[in-house]
Structure 1
Amino acid sequence: MTDPAPAPAPVLAEPIPDFHTKPTLSGTRVLLRPVTADDLPALLPMFHDPEASRLTGNHAADDGPDEARLRKWYATRGEQDDRLDLAVVDRATGNVVGEVVLNLWDQGNESCNFRICLVPGTYGKGLGTEATRLIVGYGFEELGLHRVSLEVYAFNPRARRAYEKAGFVAEGVLRDALLWEGERVDATVMSILAPEWARHRGLPVVERLSGS
């Protein structure tokens, strides 16, 4: 009589990231905290600004922001268990100057999309780069993500440089991804992986200078 075949080893489920916990993340220039409906007045300039709409490819902005809908949206961000929405606060002034988001969570591939938007007049101060590093670091170190990706349009080189400073790497081009006022615009897909973050922690320039 032959011995019975051994039972197959159990398949362990991958740990599910805790998106329900909404952290507060502190940097030198910015503080990230859970966004709420009370932040809407500070964020509204993003939705009224034509340039912000162009850079994000937001066609819906053509009709103007629906403030009632936006208030309901922000009021429910704390309840979401598959995404993370945080307000960006300028530590120098205490003002809310934008938002950062990890969304489109892909459980099977342990990945998320990243999005950031700042209100007009706050660009060029390093706020967005630091906010990017803070939330991406949280995604890798606390949520256990493997990949964080984004898309940036060809007419937004400033944003691309900021993403590169935080460690994002260009992967390829989505040709004619956006039709904006009769012009077809390419989008570059960028990403950062957990092993890359573990090496430079969002400071790839320092990594290159050190020769590591």
Structure 2
Amino acid sequence: MVDHFRDASHPGFLSKPSLRGEQILLRPVTVEDVPSLMPMFLDTETSRLTGSHDDGAPDTGRMLTWYGSRQEQDDRLDLAVVELATGNVVGEAVLHEWDPGNESCNFRICLVPGTRGSGLGTEATRLIVGYGFEELGLYRISLEVYAFNPRARRVYEKVGFVAEGVLRDALLWEGERVDATVMSILAPEWFEHGGRPGNTDHVPV
């Protein structure tokens, strides 16, 4: 029997994998990806859905430094989302805020404008979450989603994230206070359904 709940004291975040799906490839993000990712940071709707209060244009120099250092991080995993049909970088998927003592981390994903509703986000989420459980030995992966982003919440639910509670008025956006729902998925749940709740045929790898 495979021991899925291995010791996570050294989970190998420094190893940056490439994960291939049917529509996308997740691979280590690089400084060369910044021009492709820039539309995410310039899009007002993306800023709203992610609750990003940054004003003005992004500091390109800081972004180049940030993305140029992702390969060296041993406590987080930043992967570029590449659409296989076009070869274009269309977003990023990240495991971060690693808590080794509790074998847990946070997850976030963001795609460039024009890609929402394509299924790419769902597949990217399954790929990186599966890697977190099956290869890094994590037990819990969590996230927060704002009340005005039901599309993202549906994606997370399709992969098996479960709502745990509500952070009331967590975000102040243009004068409106918005709740955030805390969601998580646990290793036993993942190994039961493989990111497809209701699928009883899943066999853990």
TM-score, normalization: structure 1? 0.90
For 2:27, the aligned partner's letter is R
| Structure 2, gaps ≥5 residues long | 1-6
The whole-number CA distance in structure 2 between the counterparts of 1:38 and 1:14 is 31
**Contact 1:171–1:188 (8 Å) recurs in 2:** yes
How big is the shift at 1:14?
Answer: 5.2
Could you tell me which of 175, 197, 201 is aligned with 1:204?
A: 197
Q: What secondary structure, in the 3-state scheme, does the structure 2 residue paired with 1:59 have?
A: coil
Corresponding position of 2:79 = 86
Q: Which residue of 1 aligns with 2:181?
A: 188
The residue aligned with 1:49 is 43
Cα drift, residue 15 of structure 1: 3.2
Counterparts of 2:200 and 2:69, CA distance in 1: 39
Matched AA of 1:169: V
Measure, in 2, the Cα distance between the counterparts of 1:96 and 1:75. 16
User: Any gaps of 5 or more consecutive residues in structure 1?
Assistant: 1-12
User: Following the alignment from structure 2 to structure 1, what is the Cα–Cα distance between the partners of residues 107 and 72?
Assistant: 19
Q: Aligned ranges for residues 15-164 of structure 1 at < 5 Å? A: 15-60=9-54, 62-164=55-157
Distance 1:174 1:17 in 2: 30
Cα root mean square deviation, aligned: 1.2
Structure ranking higher on relative contact order (CA contacts 8 Å, 6+ apart)? 2
CA distance in 2, matches of 1:93, 1:108: 41
- Whether the 8 Å contact between 1:165 and 1:205 is mirrored in structure 2 is no
Scaled by the length of structure 2, what TM-score is found? 0.93
Per-residue CA deviation, residues 87-130 of structure 1 (Å, 9 max, x unaligned), is 00001111000000000000111000000000000111100000
Q: Deviations over 1:154-179 (max 9, x none)?
A: 00000000000011000000000000
Deviations 1:129-153 (A, max 9, x none): 0000000000000000000000000
Using the alignment, how far apart are the partners of 1:207 and 1:177 within structure 2? 36
Question: What is the letter of the counterpart of residue 39 of structure 1?
Answer: D
- Look up the equivalent residue of 1:21 and give its one-letter code: S
Q: Tell me how many residue pairs correspond in the alignment.
A: 195
- Aligned equivalents of 2:151, 2:138: Cα separation in 1: 26
Q: What percent identity do the matched residue pairs reach? A: 73
Between structure 1 and structure 2, the one with the greater Rg is 1
CA distance in 2, matches of 1:170, 1:89: 29
Q: 2:178, 2:78 → 1: CA distance?
A: 27
Q: As a proportion of its length, which structure holds more helix?
A: 1
Deviation at 1:16, TM superposition (A): 1.5
Aligned to 1:5: none
Q: Would you identify which runs of 4 or more consecutive aligned residues in structure 1 move more than 2 Å?
A: 205-208
Deviates most, 184-193 or 63-72: 63-72
